[in-house]
């Protein structure tokens, strides 16, 4: 083979390796002796960031994971002056650090000392430990600025997801939520900053120079993902959920104009920095906003009301009589409501009236609205084929299950006078706003188109009914003084054991609706599940969230 060709092949392979390998920066920056020195270099250098990866930001550019450079303990095994002495000191003064001799002592291979690579030691934000370690002046154990991905103020944990290792891979990757779904966009190629000790030729740290952080410039490969979430509203939602003692459930806030998610929180929660000890307890890994579905209960009456008003089966003033039960289908009301109008039947959530209305609509018309127009499909192997199935479906039991996002999307349609947006792929169309690469921001998904599901007349009648529900009916605890609100409560049975869930879905303010919210509570700390009740427990969560958002806007 001609020499020139061999040369070209070698150059080409080197370039190719360089471009695809994560060691690219080291090869270029550290020079051609990298291959020999790589281990040597790795024992002395350390990426100044936990993950080689773009950030996940809120709509205003604020990190949702609370990613930041924080003073962090970094241990460089190769640079420790006396391992046994240091371990003794740590055991005596900071026993909670729990460092193993094996992690820092060199191994001997072919008579050569091989040192472990540097690593970080997490102590949260315990400043006392950081100060103590700094004061030791131990060259191999230092406190330096280091970018950790998840901080104490990490928000929307279940929507963001977490990092982990798949199939025994050595490369960490996104395991759930946006971290997983946007892995290819977030994933970078090399650190943007590295920490390196300043040493002489013999590998001793130069007195007084210590460490420095090398800025390697932007990693072209990685992008930030900008979500539609507003971290201020997200914080409000999480605070209210915790203050109200919601230990299982989900809350979502939609922007009515765009249909985008402004906030979404699930409980229970896990710690993204401590999965080993916090993941998998009480289903805390479950995201309860987008993909999680349960019986809607009476909030589902909104759909039957749309169908009945639009089809001319009822007007808000049509009179009904409730005896307290529909004997054929074991559907009951808490009491006999007596004579009431259709509007009052919604206000008091009268099951008997709604079953009667739904049965006069019939299977075809119910399916036209629930399935075709609103896109809510029956659970597998269920349908509205019998009158009994229709009776249960109408009051949100047995036949249909919905996610909080689906309910918030429906109440947003009500607030928009019947202009509906399909959910499509909500992780992409409702949660991600843009992708940012360097200074370039590109819109990610287009806002789904609106289609008008029902007439303006029906829209206005329905809004008046749902407003009355909050003014004087079952949604009283969701009424917002000075601004008003409209919506519906729900208390579906979880099972045949007398356990309930509490739902509320509504929008506010009445004049120019801005926020559509769905609240699902499956468990409140200290409360028996048989006592959960939509109007009593979920309604006030909606009210509190809206009131705090309004205060935020007025600031």
Q: Which is nearer to Zn ion, 160 or 333 (CB)?
A: 333
**End-to-end CA, the chain:** 76
Cβ at position 422, least distance to Zn ion in Å: 34
Q: Which is nearer to Zn ion, 115 or 500 (CB)?
A: 500
Q: Which is nearer to Zn ion, 134 or 325 (CB)?
A: 325
Cβ at position 345, least distance to Zn ion in Å: 7
Cβ at position 173, least distance to Zn ion in Å: 53
For residue 60, count CB atoms less than 10 angstroms from its CB and return exposed for 0-12, middle for 13-18, buried for 19 or more. exposed
> Contacts with Zn ion in 458-487 (CB under 5 A)?
none
Q: Interacting stretch for Zn ion, rule CB under 5 A, among 38-46, 278-286, 344-352, 416-424?
A: 344-352
Q: Which is nearer to Zn ion, 313 or 445 (CB)?
A: 313
Q: Interacting stretch for Zn ion, rule CB under 5 A, among 116-124, 346-354, 389-397, 498-506?
A: 346-354
Q: Count Cα atoms within 13 angstroms, Cβ side, for 183.
A: 15
Q: Which is nearer to Zn ion, 174 or 535 (CB)?
A: 535
Q: Which is nearer to Zn ion, 325 or 460 (CB)?
A: 325
Q: Which two tokens stand for residue 527?
A: 């409360």
Q: Which is nearer to Zn ion, 63 or 348 (CB)?
A: 348
Site string for Zn ion, 355-394 (x = CB under 5 A): ----------------------------------------
Cβ at position 352, least distance to Zn ion in Å: 4
**Angstrom distance (rounded) from CA 168 to CA 146:** 26
Closest-CA residue to 488 (of 455, 534, 537, 545): 534
Q: Which is nearer to Zn ion, 223 or 348 (CB)?
A: 348
DSSP assignments along 462-492, one per residue: HHHHHHHHHHHSTTGGG--TTT--EEEEE--
Q: Which is nearer to Zn ion, 65 or 326 (CB)?
A: 326
**Angstrom distance (rounded) from CA 410 to CA 301:** 12
**Angstrom distance (rounded) from CA 138 to CA 70:** 20
Closest-CA residue to 519 (of 542, 493, 545): 542
Q: Which two tokens stand for residue 217?
A: 């410039």
**Angstrom distance (rounded) from CA 328 to CA 342:** 21
Q: Which two tokens stand for residue 488?
A: 């519906």
Q: Count Cα atoms within 13 angstroms, Cβ side, for 425.
A: 7
Q: Does 333 bind Zn ion (CB under 5 A)?
A: yes
Q: Does 236 bind Zn ion (CB under 5 A)?
A: no
Q: Which two tokens stand for residue 382?
A: 């269920």
Closest-CA residue to 305 (of 512, 158, 88, 458): 458
Cβ at position 300, least distance to Zn ion in Å: 16
Cβ at position 394, least distance to Zn ion in Å: 13
Q: Which is nearer to Zn ion, 250 or 490 (CB)?
A: 490
Cβ at position 319, least distance to Zn ion in Å: 13
Q: Interacting stretch for Zn ion, rule CB under 5 A, among 32-40, 216-224, 231-239, 330-338?
A: 330-338
Distance, C-alpha 413 to centroid of its chain = 23
Q: Interacting stretch for Zn ion, rule CB under 5 A, among 54-62, 288-296, 326-334, 542-550?
A: 326-334
8-state DSSP, 218: -
**Angstrom distance (rounded) from CA 425 to CA 245:** 31
**Angstrom distance (rounded) from CA 309 to CA 323:** 23
Q: Which is nearer to Zn ion, 14 or 336 (CB)?
A: 336
Q: Count Cα atoms within 13 angstroms, Cβ side, for 362.
A: 4
Q: Which is nearer to Zn ion, 45 or 469 (CB)?
A: 469
Q: Interacting stretch for Zn ion, rule CB under 5 A, among 268-276, 288-296, 347-355, 379-387?
A: 347-355
Sole binder of Zn ion in the list 352, 435, 516, 518 (CB under 5 A):
352
**Angstrom distance (rounded) from CA 374 to CA 376:** 6
Residues across the chain: 555
Strands 319-322 and 338-341: antiparallel
Contact 490, 294 (CB under 8 A): no
Sole binder of Zn ion in the list 181, 301, 337, 416 (CB under 5 A):
337
Q: Interacting stretch for Zn ion, rule CB under 5 A, among 11-19, 61-69, 278-286, 331-339?
A: 331-339
Cβ at position 183, least distance to Zn ion in Å: 51
Q: Does 524 bind Zn ion (CB under 5 A)?
A: no
Contact 192, 214 (CB under 8 A): no
Q: Which is nearer to Zn ion, 94 or 352 (CB)?
A: 352
Q: Which two tokens stand for residue 173?
A: 């990757």
Number of residues that bind Zn ion (CB under 5 A): 5
Cβ at position 506, least distance to Zn ion in Å: 22
Cβ at position 370, least distance to Zn ion in Å: 22
Helix (H/G/I), strand (E/B), else coil: 69: strand
Q: Does 350 bind Zn ion (CB under 5 A)?
A: yes
Sole binder of Zn ion in the list 225, 322, 414, 538 (CB under 5 A):
322
Phi and psi, residue 393, nearest 5°: -60, -45
**Angstrom distance (rounded) from CA 341 to CA 354:** 11
Q: Interacting stretch for Zn ion, rule CB under 5 A, among 185-193, 227-235, 345-353, 470-478?
A: 345-353
Cβ at position 301, least distance to Zn ion in Å: 12
Cβ at position 306, least distance to Zn ion in Å: 20
Q: Which residues bind Zn ion (CB under 5 A)?
A: 322, 333, 337, 350, 352
């Amino acid at each position: 083979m001609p020499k020139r060709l061999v040369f070209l092949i070698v150059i080409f392979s080197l370039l190719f390796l360089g471009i695809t390998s994560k060691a690219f920066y080291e090869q270029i920056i550290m020079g051609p002796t990298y291959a020999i020195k790589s281990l040597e270099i790795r024992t002395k250098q350390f990426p100044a960031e936990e993950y080689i990866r773009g950030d996940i930001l809120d709509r205003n550019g604020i990190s949702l994971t609370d990613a930041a450079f924080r003073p962090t303990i970094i241990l460089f095994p190769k640079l420790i002056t006396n391992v046994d002495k240091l371990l003794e000191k740590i055991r005596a003064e900071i026993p909670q650090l729990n460092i193993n001799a094996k992690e820092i002592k060199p191994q001997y291979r072919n008579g050569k000392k091989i040192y472990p690579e540097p690593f970080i030691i997490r102590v949260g934000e315990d400043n006392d430990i950081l100060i103590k370690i700094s004061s030791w002046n131990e060259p191999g154990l230092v406190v330096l600025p280091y970018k950790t991905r998840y901080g104490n103020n990490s928000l929307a944990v279940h929507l963001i997801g977490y990092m982990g290792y798949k199939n025994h891979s050595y490369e960490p990757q996104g395991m759930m939520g946006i971290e997983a779904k946007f892995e290819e966009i977030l994933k970078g190629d090399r650190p943007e900053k590295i920490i390196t000790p300043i040493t002489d030729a013999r590998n001793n740290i130069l007195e007084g120079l210590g460490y420095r952080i090398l800025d390697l410039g932007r990693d072209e490969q990685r992008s930030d993902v900008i979500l539609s979430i507003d971290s201020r509203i997200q914080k409000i939602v999480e605070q209210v959920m915790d203050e109200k003692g919601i230990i299982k459930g989900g809350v979502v806030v939609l922007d009515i104009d765009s249909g985008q998610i402004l906030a979404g929180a699930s409980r229970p929660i896990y710690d993204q920095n401590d999965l080993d000890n916090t993941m998998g307890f009480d289903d805390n890994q479950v995201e309860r906003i987008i993909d999680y579905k349960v019986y809607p209960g009476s909030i589902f009456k909104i759909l039957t009301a749309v169908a009945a008003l639009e089809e001319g089966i009822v007007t808000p003033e049509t009179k009904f009589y409730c005896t307290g039960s529909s004997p054929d289908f074991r559907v009951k009301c808490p009491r006999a409501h007596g004579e009431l109008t259709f509007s009052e039947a919604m206000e008091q959530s009268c099951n008997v009236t709604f079953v009667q209305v739904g049965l006069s609509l019939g299977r075809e018309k119910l399916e036209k609205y629930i399935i075709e127009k609103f896109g809510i499909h029956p659970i597998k192997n269920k349908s509205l084929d019998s009158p009994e199935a229709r009776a249960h479906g109408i009051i949100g039991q047995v036949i249909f299950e919905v996610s909080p996002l689906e309910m918030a999307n429906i109440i947003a349609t009500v607030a928009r006078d019947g202009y509906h947006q399909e959910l499509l792929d909500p992780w992409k169309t409702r949660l991600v706003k843009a992708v940012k690469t360097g200074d370039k921001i590109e819109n990610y998904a287009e806002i789904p188109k609106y289609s008008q599901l029902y007439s303006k007349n029906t829209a206005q009648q329905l809004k008046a009914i749902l407003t009355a529900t909050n003014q004087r009916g079952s949604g009283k605890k969701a009424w917002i003084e000075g601004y008003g609100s409209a919506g519906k409560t729900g208390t579906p049975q979880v099972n045949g054991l007398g356990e309930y869930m509490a739902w509320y879905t509504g929008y506010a303010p009445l004049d120019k609706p801005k926020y559509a919210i769905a609240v699902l509570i499956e468990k409140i700390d200290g409360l028996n599940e048989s006592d959960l009740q939509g109007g009593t427990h979920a309604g006030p969560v909606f009210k509190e969230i809206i009131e705090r958002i309004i205060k935020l806007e007025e600031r």
